[in-house]
Amino acid sequence: MQFMLLFSRQGKLRLQKWYVPLSDTQKKKISREVIQIVLARKPKMCSFLEWRDLKIVYKRYASLYFCCAVEDQENELITLEIIHRYVELLDKYFGSVCELDIIFNFEKAYYILDEFILGGEAQETSKKNVLKAIEQADMLQEEAETPRSVLEEIGLT
């Protein structure tokens, strides 16, 4: 996979992950172009399109578009299912996810993505294992959170 973009129906980028080294200007140009093309597609059209020498695979979930760019010889259907699995993961983690969850917790969405896809390849396809890894890291966060904030309050007051 070359990159993944999440954007709203208005074309606002919600998440971007690049698995190929590109400059910022290139990234901006590409995402603008891809968002424009995908938004122009009608709902009944197929979820794949050729773009430059890549295949864009996209799917809309409520107000949010999930869009991946894969190499031409890649299997488009399986990419579509990768998107779906990612949505399932988000859904399980946030509990029926909506666009707002992703906007306000975008870093969490990135953590989940990094556990699922690493370096452009599916790393772990078991839902349970991905979420276990995330939960472990989150748990650490909460443990660290409580004593620190107490200390800080003491320090402050």
Partner 1 sequence: MSDVVEKTLTALPGLFESQTGAAKITNRLRQLIKSITELTSKHEEENLIKRELSAIKEQVSSPNTTMKQMREIMVRAMYCEMLGYDASFTYIHAIKLAQQGGVLEKRVGYLAVSLFLNEGHELLLLLVNTVLKDLQSTNLIEVCMALTVVAQVFPKDMIPAVLPLVEDKLSHPKEIIRRKAVLALYKFYLIAPNQVQHIHAKFCKALSDKDPGVMASSLHIYLQLIRESPDSYKDLTGSFVTILKQVLGGKLPVDFNYHSVPAPWLQIQLLRILSLLGKEDQSTSELMYEVLDESLRRAEMNHNITYAILYECVKAVYTIHPKAELLEKAARCIGNFVLSPKINLKYLGLKALTYVVQHDAKLALQHQMTIIECLDHSDFTIKRETLELLFRITNAQNVTVIVEKMLDFLCYVPIKTLTFAPDNSWFIQTMNDVFSIGGDLLQQDDPNNFLRLLAEGKPEEDDQLRLYAVESYLTVLKGHTSHLPQCFLQVMSWVLGEYAHLQESVDRREVIRLLTQLLDQRSVSSETRVWILSALTKIPEGQTDLILDLAESLSSSQDTVLRQQAQELRHLSQDSQLREWVLVENSCAVDSSLSFLDGFVSEALAAGAAPYKPPHQRQEELSLNLEPYSFSLPVSLSSCSITDRQSPTLLSVSSGLSGNSAELSTLILEGVKRVWGKDGYLPQKEATAPPVDEPSAAVQPASQQEAAERIEPRPEPSTQNQDKQQLASSLFVGLGVGSSVSLVRKLFYDGFTASLRGNVMDCLEARSTSVCHYALLMDDPHTNVSLTGTVSYQTQPGHTNTLPFSGTLSTADFIRPLVVTTEEYGKLWLSLSHDVKQNLKLLTDAGDPLRTTLNALKDALQLHVVDIIGSEGIVACRLLSGAPCLLHCRVNGAALAMWLRSPHPALPDFILYHCQRALAHH
Q: Interface with partner 1 by CB under 8 A: which residues?
A: 8-10, 13-17, 19, 21-24, 28, 42, 44-50, 63, 75-78, 80-82, 85, 99-100, 103-104, 106-107, 110-111, 114, 118-119, 121-129, 133, 136-137, 140-142, 144-145, 148-149, 152
Q: Identify whether the C-beta of residue 91 lies closer than 8 Å to the C-beta of residue 66.
A: no
Q: How far is the CB of 77 from partner 1 (least distance, A)?
A: 4
Per DSSP, 146 falls in state H
End-to-end Cα spacing for the chain: 51
Distances (CA, A) of 77 to 35, 81, 117: 20, 6, 17
Minimum CB separation of residue 69 from partner 1 in Å reads 14
Residue 10 corresponds to which tokens in the numbers above? Answer: 């208005």
Task: Give me the phi and psi of 60, to 5 degrees please.
Answer: -100, 130
Q: Which is nearer to partner 1, 33 or 78 (CB)?
A: 78
CB of 93 to partner 1, least distance (A): 14
User: What's the closest the beta carbon of residue 67 comes to partner 1, in angstroms?
Assistant: 14
Q: How far apart are CA 17 and CA 2, in angstroms?
A: 9
CB-wise, 44 or 53, nearer to partner 1?
44
